[in-house]
Structure 1
Amino acid sequence: MADRPLIGISTYLESGVRWGVWELPAALLPAGYAGLVQRAGGLAAMLPPDEPDLAAAAVARLDGLVIAGGPDVDPARYGADRDPRTGPPAHARDAWELALIDAALSARLPLLGVCRGMQLLNVALGGTLTQHIDGHAEVPGVFGRHRVEPVPGTLYAGTVPEETAVPTYHHQSVDRLGIGLIPSAHAPDGTVEAVELPAPHWALGVQWHPEMGEDLRVMRALVAAAGA
């Protein structure tokens, strides 16, 4: 048990959260993320937003990193005007997670981006986002499912070689790919559903939410890379 890799997971920072008699600011993470890390053989550590210049120090203590899902990335981060359907910015979280991604890539730390995390990985490498697409978040607050097809020869295809149905909830997607990124899975409508950096990096982004499903293969691959 002591040899389990330590996987950091970025979190929300929300005000006015209620539990018991309390209503206070709180660092939040849906329990599915930590549960997925644990079931895949890792130890989970929450990483609430902090000063960006501390990201390298945080990454140095980790064996792997997950950038979790969450609010829309500020379009200013990729030089775009705000679409009216884009959600309010989360400036502190954008800054912290971009710094974490930069530090992880510099250190060649295994990295998995989930939904927003995939989009932020793309933005961190100079890519852009489409600010609204239909059909990937049909009912507010309810995860849907659709199929994704792996791109042969990619890290993702080596991990999940067949077409699978995945839990999904998003209204934005990758537009122009960031420098060095390649697409590694697509939805039936052509939406890029996974991106990755080629070796020697282990950096993968998935547009869906593996923490809301039962398939452990993507997280097991991250934990295995972290353990190595």
Structure 2
Amino acid sequence: KSLADREKEQSEKHEHTNEEMKKLIDRENQLLSKQKGLHDKQKKAQLLVGESRQRLDNALKKADIINAQAANALIGAGDEQGKLISDELFKITDELSKIQKTSLLTLPWCSSIKCLIVDGDFSFESLNCLFRYLPQLHRLSINFLKKINNIEMDKNLSMIQLKHLKYVSLKMSAFIPFDWFKVLTKTFFRHLQTLRLTARVGEEY
């Protein structure tokens, strides 16, 4: 192929990658907006159940059968709504996790970035993709490392060598199992010199 053909092919490839990334970002924003709305609904449902339980207790103390039945019906409706919302939130969270992984895989194979600060949330499950993309990483800071799914780390990527990674600062969710953290340190942090680690509640691990 001529130089012009190669440049054209490369340009088309980048354009396609940019389009794919734009679609992923748009979908992610839609899901985040929907997730926020569902969290608001979930709080209202929980509030309704709490108020209804109080109403039920008061009705039972007064032997008010009619009000007790009405309160019990509201509790059932609130619990059912809460369950439906939780199921939908789980699906959204799962899709967001997949988008995050796909976004990393859509990018070029590797980068020369040496210092990375993730100011928002980042899933534990996506660390493999991140480290594969940033083999030259020296310093890493993640504002909140969270756990999304009960899955194991990708065995196919477990031999990534981050020889330059010397400093890591992580704020981790308390829901991340300690065994996962041990795998993380043994697999990726073997050359670390400084590790700063805190739990979400602010207590040092």
Larger RCO (alpha carbons 8 Å, 6+ apart): 1
The bucket for the TM-score relative to the shorter chain is: under 0.3
Greater per-residue helix proportion? 2
Larger radius of gyration between Structure 1 and Structure 2: 2
Greater per-residue strand proportion? 1
Normalising to structure 1: TM-score of the pair? Answer: 0.25
